């Protein structure tokens, strides 16, 4: 609960391959949209399967907007948003939702902070009223703030300090970005968490939480026509406020390949991560984003991918291998490759095998056959996403908080289907450059052991 | 404009409106009519529960063979799990790469797994590819190849994961709890085996598992999505019809967990992981739902639970603390957990004990009971919003013999629970000793 998963998965949703067009709506999620007078964007994804709604508010502020010296403050505020308003006593928010048969939670990522409830349709106005209330009426007292700071320290201990893999990940991200605040951990550095004050949190809240900095996404048994009056009499009553510019420092050019090695006494199974700086759907270099998604699938998206077949199956060097790219990020993102060795494989051998596959792809590109089957699979898989209320809400929320348009989400299948082999080759050449990479290695003790 | 440090009120929703809204809503949201469950029995006697949902063109199927990891041979824990890892790695005319290619190219998800009481699987397929998906499932169950390369690879992958878990406090705590609770009983065995047993499992062992443990008589199936009852009936026989009629018996003797001790597994980590628990209550006991409500109040209700209130909200001691009923066939259990830094473990466990004792003494009021009931009834529809969720619910109804109309009756069971029922169930359930397993460097234990 109150947790901080990063922006999630594929944007994907699809046309229905092979089925009668008449039976299915033409689009993907077929959302309806409108904007309130105060600037709050609203997206509605009707789904009549069950009389339930997933109600989300997404704020365009996240870890990368942390004040200097207060890394992770957006996540702290996320926790504190449950600690009381003028109307709702501390800790009562979730209890009220539960009393009405709903589930609730929240999440923080680099570019957004989001709050949601899943609840029976006839309680939608209630949760909208409560969410609108805490958008502007938060009250924070020391008795709520400082124990919660301790909770976050425990959360950090459980997610990071207890997990050598997470420790490596945190150090790796901080090395990948020389300057940009994406280098910060979403939960914050320990010593900076310990320094948070009530005033820090309140100042951040007042700076960033406003209806014109928020997107309302509702998926479920509701239409825009039904939602609009509810939105107007809840969020619509809150006036827009001037917002600070969402300005992050820019990442300077990267000229040197980096390597970090973490020896840890609790590691029994080594891991290799190679991370490359990469463009996003909205950043400079955006023309490569769809091709990068396809590249990640071809290279390491499953058991028939290049990395898995070569390194896990044919050479039997690795127990697992894959690659990962998600283009939904405001300023920059990473293209990552993972591999874990089998017994008897040393890490130099493993890394050489990975590089051999990358070099092969850079030299020869991808074949028409593997391109077609991969694109077809990506588009087909995306149909499953329509069956999830939360999935639909997360797709739109995460996309819109980085400034993407609804139309771009809806046209994902076409854009994926249009990717050419040449585009994949160009994207690979643009991104798979060692000087923009970090290689992270997680090893057991002994040298430089951490306890 | 800020009014002052503690009173930042800006224009927005008038507070009176929220209060009025809260007052006007009756607590329990109107229960929607449950979607219609159709019982399908195929020509060969295979039984499934189906909820048809044509709005998205795919189907999710969950299936369950009674008899799981607890029935692994004593010298070969991990047999069921490893076999499950190989059934989708080549079958019939398809070697491993060809089989995986068929799955991926057709967006078919086919997976197998094992828990203590069952060998399970999931099939998800677009309507357009359903025929092919079912044929692949049939081949996996009846003609798995166990070729040398995938066997070596999967064995290596399981060993890799076991190696990683050697220092994973969550896994170590669970293992310590079950090994201590059920020493000498099959429930003590680790489901994924041990390095020496995984290394020793042969292809003959796995073939024998498939031949003897997967049959029509111990099979239950739950399906949700774009398929008619008639098509499902044919599908069941295509997928499962060639299995033998009966499986070998895998009855696990009933057992009660050992309790009244604290087992510490030393590990140099900043935060200790604790698992606590004792015997639970049979799924068909008349007090089961009262116990379920009692557990919700104690530790199942997230931020509405007493454990979270006392350990996290009031004292900031932990990020996560919880409890739940775990319906093992031969040993129903009540379990819970908390993770906190080493200096605070003893205190956290004491708070847990104190709250359990309060519940055992019957310290529950109508308010807490009412809130628990409104959550448990009102949130039930949230568990049925996707094909995957619904298929899992349906197979569970068959496995636990809850009846095809369970979805209609379930909220009534919760609503019928009285304060007296909860107190009686709590006295039965929570008055005894716990077994506590701690992994870390707890101070003072």
Q: Please say if the pLDDT value at position B15 is more than 90.
A: no
Q: Give CB contacts under 8 A, 24+ apart, made by B248-251.
A: B248/B212, B248/B213, B250/B66, B250/B67, B250/B70, B250/B71, B250/B213
Looking at chain B, the whole-number percentage of residues with pLDDT higher than 90 is 87
Nearest CA in chain A to B380: A101
Say which of B167, B371, B381 has its CB closest to residue A51. B381
Question: Cα(B80)–Cα(B70) distance, rounded to whole angstroms?
Answer: 9
Contact indicator for A423, A300 with CB cutoff of 8 Å: no
Q: Would an 8 Å CB–CB cutoff place B20 in contact with chain A?
A: no
Question: Taking CB atoms and an 8 Å cutoff, what residues of chain A touch B309?
Answer: 91
Predicted TM-score of the model (pTM): 0.92
Question: Cα(A227)–Cα(A230) distance, rounded to whole angstroms?
Answer: 5
Sign of the C-alpha dihedral, residues B292, B297, B303, B309?
A: negative
Please judge whether A18 and B128 are an interchain contact, meaning their C-beta atoms are less than 8 angstroms apart: yes
Which two structure tokens, joined as six digits, stand for A323? Answer: 């690659």
pLDDT-derived band of residue A28, with 50, 70 and 90 as boundaries? confident
Q: Would an 8 Å CB–CB cutoff place B249 in contact with chain A?
A: no
B4, B15, B18, best to mutate vs chain A, most A CBs in 10 Å: B18
Instruction: Supply φ then ψ for residue A290, to 5 degrees.
Output: -65, -40
Segment A143-160 mean pLDDT: 93
Q: Please say if the pLDDT value at position B3 is more than 50.
A: no
Which three-class secondary structure state does DSSP give residue A220? strand
pLDDT-derived band of residue B16, with 50, 70 and 90 as boundaries? low
For the stretch B325-347, pLDDT in tens is 999 999 999 999 999 989 999 99
Sign of the C-alpha dihedral, residues A203, A209, A213, A215?
A: positive
DSSP type of residue A294 = H
pLDDT-derived band of residue B18, with 50, 70 and 90 as boundaries? confident
ipTM over 0.85: yes
Nearest CA in chain A to B377: A101
Q: Kindly list the catalytic residues of A.
A: 78
Please judge whether B382 and A101 are an interchain contact, meaning their C-beta atoms are less than 8 angstroms apart: yes
Tell me what pLDDT residue A23 has: 41
Which is nearest to A40 in space by CA: A209, A208, A210, A212?
A212
| Among A1-5, A111-115, B252-256, B378-382, the least confident range | A1-5
pLDDT-derived band of residue B13, with 50, 70 and 90 as boundaries? low
For the stretch A375-393, pLDDT in tens is 999 999 889 988 999 999 9
Question: Cα(B152)–Cα(B140) distance, rounded to whole angstroms?
Answer: 18
Please judge whether B303 and A91 are an interchain contact, meaning their C-beta atoms are less than 8 angstroms apart: yes
For the stretch B168-199, pLDDT in tens is 999 999 999 999 999 999 999 999 999 999 99
CB within 8 Å of B114: residues ≥ 6 apart: B68, B69, B80, B81, B83, B84, B120, B191
Contact indicator for B241, B44 with CB cutoff of 8 Å: yes
Tell me what pLDDT residue B302 has: 86
Distances (CA, A) of B97 to A313, B102, B145, B269: 9, 9, 12, 41
Segment A339-349 mean pLDDT: 95
Q: To the nearest whole angstrom, how far is the Cα of A198 from the nearest Cα of chain B?
A: 10
User: Looking up tokens 């979607």, which residue turns up?
Assistant: B35
Nearest CA in chain B to A121: B29
Tell me what pLDDT residue B5 has: 35
Contact indicator for B318, B340 with CB cutoff of 8 Å: yes
Question: Taking CB atoms and an 8 Å cutoff, what residues of chain A touch B9?
Answer: 86, 136-137
Tell me what pLDDT residue B195 has: 97
Q: To the nearest whole angstrom, how far is the Cα of B399 from the nearest Cα of chain A?
A: 25
The DSSP secondary structure of B267-285, one letter per residue, reads ---SEEEEEEEEE---TTS
């Amino acid at each position: 609960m109150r947790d901080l998963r990063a922006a999630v998965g594929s944007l994907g949703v699809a046309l229905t391959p092979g089925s009668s067009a008449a039976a299915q709506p033409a689009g993907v999620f077929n959302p309806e949209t409108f904007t309130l007078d105060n600037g709050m964007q609203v997206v509605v994804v009707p789904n009549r399967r069950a009389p339930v709604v997933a109600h989300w508010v997404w704020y365009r502020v996240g870890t990368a907007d942390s004040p200097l010296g207060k890394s992770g403050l957006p996540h702290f505020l996320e926790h504190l948003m449950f600690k009381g308003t003028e109307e709702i006593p501390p800790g009562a928010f979730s209890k009220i939702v539960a009393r009405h048969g709903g589930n609730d939670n929240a999440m923080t990522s680099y570019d957004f902070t989001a709050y949601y409830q899943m609840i029976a349709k006839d309680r939608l106005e209630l949760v909208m009223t409560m969410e609108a209330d805490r958008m502007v009426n938060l009250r924070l007292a020391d008795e709520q703030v400082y124990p919660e700071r301790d909770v976050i320290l425990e959360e950090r201990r459980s997610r990071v300090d207890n997990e050598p893999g997470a420790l490596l990940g945190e150090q790796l991200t901080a090395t990948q970005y020389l300057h940009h605040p994406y280098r910060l951990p979403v939960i914050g550095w320990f010593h900076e968490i310990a320094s948070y004050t009530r005033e820090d949190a309140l100042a951040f809240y007042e700076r960033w939480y406003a209806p014109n900095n928020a997107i309302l996404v509702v998926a479920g048994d509701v239409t825009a026509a039904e939602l609009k009056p509810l939105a107007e009499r809840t969020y619509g009553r809150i006036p827009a406020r001037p917002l600070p510019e969402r300005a992050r420092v820019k990442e300077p050019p990267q000229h040197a390949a980096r390597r970090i090695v973490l020896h840890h006494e609790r590691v029994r199974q080594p891991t290799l991560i190679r991370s490359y700086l990469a463009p996003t759907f909205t950043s400079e270099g955006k023309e490569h984003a769809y091709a990068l998604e396809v590249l990640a699938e071809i290279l390491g998206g499953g058991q028939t991918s290049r990395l898995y077949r070569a390194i896990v199956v044919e050479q039997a060097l690795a127990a697992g291998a894959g690659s990962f790219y998600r283009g939904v990020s405001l300023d920059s993102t990473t293209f990552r490759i993972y591999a874990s060795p089998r017994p008897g494989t040393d890490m130099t051998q493993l890394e050489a095998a990975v590089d051999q596959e990358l070099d092969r792809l850079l030299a020869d590109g991808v074949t028409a056959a593997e391109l077609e089957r991969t694109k077809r699979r990506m588009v087909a898989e995306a149909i499953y996403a329509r069956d999830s209320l939360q999935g639909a809400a997360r797709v739109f929320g995460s996309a819109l908080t980085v400034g993407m348009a609804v139309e771009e989400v809806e046209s994902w299948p076409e854009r994926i289907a249009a990717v050419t082999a040449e585009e994949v080759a160009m994207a690979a050449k643009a991104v798979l450059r060692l000087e923009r990479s970090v290689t992270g290695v997680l090893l057991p003790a002994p040298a430089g052991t951490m306890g | 404009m800020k009014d002052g440090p503690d009173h930042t009120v800006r224009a927005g929703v008038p507070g009176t409106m929220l209060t009025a809204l809260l007052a006007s809503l009756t607590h329990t949201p109107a229960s929607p009519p449950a979607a219609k469950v159709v019982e399908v029995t195929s020509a060969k006697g295979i039984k499934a529960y189906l909820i048809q949902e044509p709005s998205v063109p795919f189907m999710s199927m969950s299936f369950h063979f009674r008899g799981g990891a607890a029935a692994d041979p004593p010298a070969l824990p991990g047999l069921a799990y490893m076999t499950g890892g190989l059934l989708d790695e080549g079958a019939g005319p398809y070697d491993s790469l060809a089989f995986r290619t068929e799955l991926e190219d057709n967006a078919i998800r086919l997976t197998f797994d094992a828990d203590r009481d069952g060998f399970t699987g999931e099939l998800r397929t677009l309507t357009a590819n359903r025929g092919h998906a079912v044929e692949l499932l049939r081949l996996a169950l009846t003609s798995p190849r166990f070729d040398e390369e995938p066997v070596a690879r999967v064995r290596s992958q399981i060993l890799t994961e076991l190696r990683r878990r050697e220092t994973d406090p969550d896994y170590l705590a669970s293992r310590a709890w079950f090994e201590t609770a059920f020493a000498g009983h099959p429930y003590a065995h680790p489901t994924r085996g041990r390095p020496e047993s995984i290394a020793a499992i042969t292809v003959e062992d796995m073939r024998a598992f498939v031949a003897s443990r997967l049959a029509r008589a111990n099979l239950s199936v739950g399906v949700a999505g774009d398929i008619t009852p008639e098509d499902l009936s044919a599908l069941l026989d295509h997928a499962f019809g060639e299995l033998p009629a009966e499986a070998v018996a895998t009855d696990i003797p009933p057992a009660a967990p050992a309790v009244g001790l604290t087992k510490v597994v030393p590990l140099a980590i900043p935060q200790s992981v604790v698992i606590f628990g004792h015997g639970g209550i049979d799924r068909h006991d008349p007090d089961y739902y009262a116990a379920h409500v009692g557990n919700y109040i104690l530790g199942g209700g997230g931020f509405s639970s007493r454990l979270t209130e006392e350990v996290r909200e009031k004292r900031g001691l932990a990020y996560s603390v919880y409890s739940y009923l775990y319906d093992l066939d031969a040993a129903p259990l009540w379990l819970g957990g908390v993770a906190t830094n080493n200096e605070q473990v003893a205190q956290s466990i004491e708070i847990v004990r104190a709250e359990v004792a309060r519940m055992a003494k019957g310290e529950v009021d109508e308010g807490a009971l009412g809130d628990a009931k409104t959550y448990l009834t009102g949130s039930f529809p949230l568990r049925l919003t996707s094909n995957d969720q619904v298929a899992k619910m349906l197979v569970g109804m068959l496995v636990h013999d809850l009846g095809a109309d369970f979805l209609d009756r379930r909220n009534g069971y919760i609503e019928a629970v009285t304060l007296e029922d909860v107190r009686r169930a709590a006295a039965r359930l929570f008055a005894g000793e716990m077994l506590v397993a701690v992994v870390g460097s707890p101070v003072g234990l």
